Amino acid sequence: MQFHLDGFYPGDPRFSDPQDRVVAPPLKRPLPQQVDVLIVGCGPAGLNLAAQLSQFGNISVAIVDQKDDRLLVGQADGIACRTIEMFQAYGFADQIIQEAYQVNEAAFWKPDADKPNQITRSGKVQDVADDLSEMPHLIINQARVHDEFLKVMLQSPIKLEPHYQRKLLGLEVSDSGEEYPVTVKLERMVNFSQYSQEIETVKAKYVVGCDGARSAVRAAIGQELVGDPLNQAWGVMDVLLNTDFPDIRLKSLIHSNNEGNMLIIPREGGYMVRIYVELDKLKENERVARDQMTADVLIAAANRILAPYTIDVKQVAWWSVYEIGQRITTAFDDSSAERAARVFLAGDACHTHSPKAGQGLNTSVMDTWNLGWKLAHVLTGRAAPAILATYSAERREYGQALIDFDRKFSAMFSAKPKSAENPDGVDPAEFQRYFQLFGEYTAGVSIQYRPSIMVGNGEHQTLASGLTVGKRFHSAPVVRQGDAKPVQLGHCHTANGAYRVYAFAGSAEPMSASCGVKALCEFLANDANSPLLKYTPAGADADSVIDVRAIFQQHHQAVETGTLHPVLAPHKGKLGLRDYEKVFCVDQRPESSGGGKDIYAMRGIDKQQGCIVIVRPDQYVAEVLPLDDYAGLARFFDGVLI
């Protein structure tokens, strides 16, 4: 899509008239007196958590924010492949992909050896490696992502909307064993009289602080951000411009000789770009002199770095100055040896870092993607509160790894290029290699959670070597048997809080007497130890807690619908309608038609034996088991469900 041609306007670009993009704020209404979960902060972490919890019609949720209304212009606008995979679970990935700028290549620029005061291109690299993800790396206004989360919330069973203009005043957790142990006091910021103050009190089972780097929730539970700032300042601006710089529509990383460094990120719409400009390094404990900074200063600095090229800025849509600092909290919750967690932190409330690796929003939403379904399982009686301890354990380790990565990446980006005058500088070729080496990390797909009650030990990993236990389920193309539609298998993961059990068949004929998938279905349908029988609530759909799907190696036309086991064709809903979308086959279409991609070969699945792959509700592989390991399957679910 192309837009912003006549200037920058926030909102949905599908509306021709910018006035039609204005969304009315929610009606002002009092907060409920008690809720299951109170979320503080309407940033990406808070809205993602609200969107996830809103899918459960029997969980009461409130989300508050100090702002007056929804975000219109965002700062965290780089969306990693892994995050788009998560958006697919909510059903709005296609909308974001269509609207966003897609990062396909990155260009690297360094000082010209013959003319050191000018820059020259040192190379271009593919931004996302082949088969890293079925999803692209995107750039889009953070506010548009917020809008999609708000739609999910509003369209949910509980029709959830934020409560704006609420300032957190205090938070206390009772140890008396009451049902709603967290008491939260908030000021409703609609009365500006110095003589009166409107206070609201909310009792909650759980509170989640998604309220940013200056988190009031974090302060209330006695946690603090720890770490060392790098004492570097950068300016950033979104601009509409004309230029003779040839890579203006590519992600460009630029090192100049003496004028500092710059990062160019093309924006959605075809005309706007974001420019990060390095400012002078700060002295210890020094702050950026914001009152002395203007957009014109940043534009002039950009032109000095870009020489011999120039930019002619026509409009500045937004600009700011920030200082880099990498910090993380000691823990992501308020648990102690005496008491389980009742208050959690997520997003910038528990980790801060520079934006150049594009991990801020992406890490924040993955925090609450990890936490949301766990809270939902506890609140709906599916799981014991003990599973909530895995949130801090899993996410803090990754948060620390992010801090370490960001510190090195930022230092390399900010360093002067290596030269005869500066032998200790960064070799531009080394920086380019580092960028490529950590492509999996910046795409968000490198996370691997350690073994726990929710992650197996990988004893049978060789049965599916490309679906690593503890890492996100790596999707691949298949053909859906019922309607012959080519699909991505990973897109079965919707944000409904269900586990997925994928039964990859061995070499036997589908549904024959020797078919391992048929035998597994018999166990699931009839055995007293079947987790499907034990953990599906009475009256609920058969796939509401554990969603069983099968993949066969044969052509989809060789599998007859009438032969499928009832576990793979359950009757669901108020009318008891049959689900025809549980069975898939290897994509055996010719390459000329877009086929020829064998999921067994792509993901290292044993074609002779097949296997079971258990996937958590947040799309991470929990365990790989032999197809006939019914005891192992039962044991896993006995550990995580009640």
Instruction: Give DSSP secondary structure letters for 312-369.
Output: EEEEEEEEEEEEEE-EEES-SB---SSS---EEE-GGGTEE--STTS-HHHHHHHHHH
Dig out the tokens for 630 from the structure: 């019914």
Tokens of 155: 């369209």
Q: Which two tokens stand for residue 511?
A: 């549904």
Residue 146 covered by a domain: yes
Going by C-beta distance under 8 Å and a sequence separation of 6 or more, which residues neighbour residue 188?
165, 166, 198, 199, 200
What single-letter DSSP state applies at residue 105? E
Q: Are residues 506 and 632 in the same domain?
A: yes
Distances (CA, A) of 263 to 112, 115, 246, 254, 306: 18, 21, 14, 6, 11
How many Å apart are CA 427 and CA 110, to the nearest integer? 9
CATH number of the domain to which 198 belongs: 3.50.50.60
What's the confidence (pLDDT) of residue 281?
52
Bridge partner list, 226: 328
Q: Domain range holding 276?
A: 230-324+416-442
* DSSP structure string for 511-572: TSTT-HHHHHHHHHHH-TT-HHHHHSPTTS-TTSSEEEEEEESS-GGGS-GGGS-GGGS-EE
Same domain, 381 and 261: no
Structure tokens at 403: 């801090």
At position 509, the amino acid (one-letter code) is: E
CATH (domain of 297): 3.30.9.10
Nearest by Cα to 613 from 545, 481, 517, 478: 517
Number of independent structural domains in the chain: 3
Burial class (CB in 10 A: 0-12, 13-18, 19+), 631: exposed
Where does 155-206 have alpha helices with state H?
none
CB 313 within 8 A of CB 239: yes
How many residues are there in the chain?
642
- The reply to whether 155 and 297 lie within a common domain is no
Residues with Cβ < 8 Å from 100, sequence gap 6 or more?
A: 79, 138, 139, 140, 268
CA 393 to mean position of chain CA atoms: 18
Last residue of a domain, one of 354, 375, 402: 402
Q: Which positions are annotated as active-site residues?
A: 77, 267, 276, 355
Judge if 607 and 619 occupy the same domain: yes
What pLDDT, on a 0 to 100 scale, did the predictor assign at position 418? Answer: 73
Asked whether residue 299 falls in the same domain as residue 334, the answer is no
Q: Under a CB-based contact definition with an 8 Å cutoff, are residues 241 and 293 in contact?
A: no
Whether residue 144 is found in the same domain as residue 215: yes
Smallest Cα–Cα separation from 76: which of 134, 144, 127, 149? 144
**pLDDT attached to residue 425:** 74
Q: Is residue 255 part of a domain?
A: yes
Residue 391 lies in a domain: yes
Distance CA 195, CA 187 (A): 14
**Residue ranges in 345-463 assigned as alpha helix (H):** 360-379, 389-414, 428-437, 439-442
Same domain, 187 and 242: no
Residue 341 in any domain: the answer is yes
pTM of the model: 0.92
Shared-domain flag, residues 217 and 82? yes
In whole angstroms, give the CA distance from residue 261 to residue 281. Answer: 12
Pairing of strands 78-79, 119-126: unpaired
Q: Within a domain: residue 455?
A: no
Looking up residue 590, the CATH number of its domain turns out to be 3.40.30.20
Residue pointed to by tokens 């909530």? 388
Which residue from 368, 494, 349, 350 is spatially nearest to 61, judged by alpha carbons? 368
**Residues 214 and 73 grouped into a single domain:** yes
pLDDT at 233: 74
Residues 318 and 212 in one domain: no
Q: Is residue 10 part of a domain?
A: no
Distance CA 368, CA 347 (A): 8
- Residue among 37, 59, 40 nearest 496 (CA): 59
- Per DSSP, the three-state class of 241 is strand
Q: Is residue 128 part of a domain?
A: no
Report yes or no on 95 lying in a domain.
yes
SS3 611: strand
**Same domain flag for 290 and 150:** no
Q: For 244-310, where are the E strands, in sequence order?
A: 251-255, 261-266, 272-278
Asked whether residue 319 falls in the same domain as residue 235, the answer is yes
> In this structure, are residues 598 and 504 in contact, taking their beta carbons and an 8 Å threshold?
no
Which stretches in the chain have pLDDT values below 50? 282
Q: Which helix (H) or strand (E) holds 577?
A: strand 577-578
